Amino acid sequence: MEELLVYPDPPPSGVVSALEAGGYKWRPVGSLRHAERMEPEDGWSGALICADADSETAFALCRAVRKRDEPLSPLLLVVAEAQLRELELREDLFDDFCANSSNVKELCARLDHLFWRTGRGSRPELVEHGGLVLNLETYQASLSGRPLDLTYMEYELLKFLATHPGRVFTRETLLSRVWGYEYYGGARTVDVHIRRLRAKLGEEQAHLISTVRSVGYRFGQTRWES
């Protein structure tokens, strides 16, 4: 998968959260020369350029990538609210823009829509449920833009449950489907991993994995059904 050019280096925390929540592969750059030196062999998939801190460098970078033999697109520009009036004179430098006061969800949504609109198809395969996002390519998980520190088996268990929402699975089924038929551990292994997952999801989202008494576990049950 191609990488997204992100300026500046390091990018604002809100931008990082949106990129991680969306599962994008990206690389920060601090200047035009840096961008040229760091460009992947198969090229950049697009750019997210923040112009709110150093607008002169940011707009110069926008102009440079637009003047290439193959102009870089899509390009999302993040600006301060005070800069919004300037954008009418710079419409040729970007495909879409977003105010730096926007929240993580809006920024992520704008990126998704921009890639879809320009047909780049750079978004990886994701499993999403509310604020929970699982990236099936990078084995990363995030909740409301916050990365979740999961072990390999915790991730595999969460992925299996999240890809079968609403279905109830017994502990024995989960052992065979997630750990494998060759695994001889007891049902307590499942219980321990479920308990750890709930702790990492936090009190507000622990209900995503519900216990069906005398049967097993189910993903996606609402708070009021449990």
Task: Give the C-alpha separation, 78 to 81, whole Å.
Answer: 10
pTM across the whole model: 0.54
Domains of the chain (ranges, CATH numbers):
3-118 (3.40.50.2300), 127-219 (1.10.10.10)
Nearest to 157 by CA among 136, 169, 174: 174
- Note the pLDDT tens digit of each residue in 54-109: 999 999 999 988 887 677 778 899 998 888 878 877 888 888 888 887 788 788 87
